Amino acid sequence: MAKGNSFLSHKLHSLLGLFPIGLFLLFHLTANYQATRGAEAFNQTVGLIENVPLLLVVEFVFIYIPILFHAVYGLYIAFQAKQNVGNFGYFRNQMFLWQRVTGIITLIFIVWHVWETRIQKAMGVHVDFDMVANIFSSPAMIVFYTIGIISTVFHFSNGLWSFLVHWGITVGPRSQRVATYLTMVVFVVVTFIGLRAMSAFIL
């Protein structure tokens, strides 16, 4: 790939990871969290989302197309096997590796999750609390979703750290250390929201 194109693709890949994909992830998990208030609250949230005007267009522009680009270019980056160019320590190099590993796990998870929910809906299945509870009636699915949620949230939180570096927001070692702690808090809080939301469909 020509150098200029590669630079722009990298920037776009990085930006999309946060806006809109990361924001969508937060919105999606918060919406699912409504299930902790009962089946009725969750079904009402689903109803509100389904009433968004031009929902399919919104989904394509803000979710499907950005994720498709981020995932395809992400796979290209992950398999380029390029070593970490920055002069970071052992911890950051491990995080760099896990960013790639979780990218691949997250991709497998998203493809399955979209098939099981959004594509089923397009084929006429009614999406509500009972439909999701039915998915989690399988212990294998609980394990799969637990791994998928942790992987996706790790990828997002650690990605937030590298986003701040890539866009020149955290430049020095001190600000990067502070960002490490902040993104760890993001990881713990968002993982809790995701897993707690899932548990509401099981109990």
* Element holding 3 (H helix, E strand): helix 3-16
Which segments of the chain are extended strands (E)? none
Q: Please tell me the number of Cα atoms within 13 Å of 147 on its side-chain side.
A: 15
- Hey, is 115 helix, strand or coil? helix
For ligand HEM, which residue of 33, 145, 163, 201 counts as binding (CB under 6 A)? 163
The answer to whether 66 contacts ligand HEM (rule: CB under 6 A) is no
Which among 14-22, 85-93, 126-134, 135-143 is the span making contact with ligand HEM, rule CB under 6 A? Answer: 14-22
- Hey, is 38 helix, strand or coil? coil
Q: How many CB atoms lie within 10 A of CB 108?
A: 13
The answer to whether 148 contacts ligand HEM (rule: CB under 6 A) is no
**24 contacts 61 by C-beta, under 8 angstroms:** no
For residue 64, the 8-state DSSP code is I
For ligand HEM, which residue of 33, 34, 46, 70 counts as binding (CB under 6 A)? 70
The contact mask relative to ligand HEM for 99-138 (x = CB under 6 A, - = no) is xx--xx-xx--x----------------------------
Which residues contact ligand HEM by CB under 6 A?
14, 17-18, 21-22, 25, 70-71, 74-75, 77-78, 99-100, 103-104, 106-107, 110, 152, 155-156, 159-160, 162-163, 166
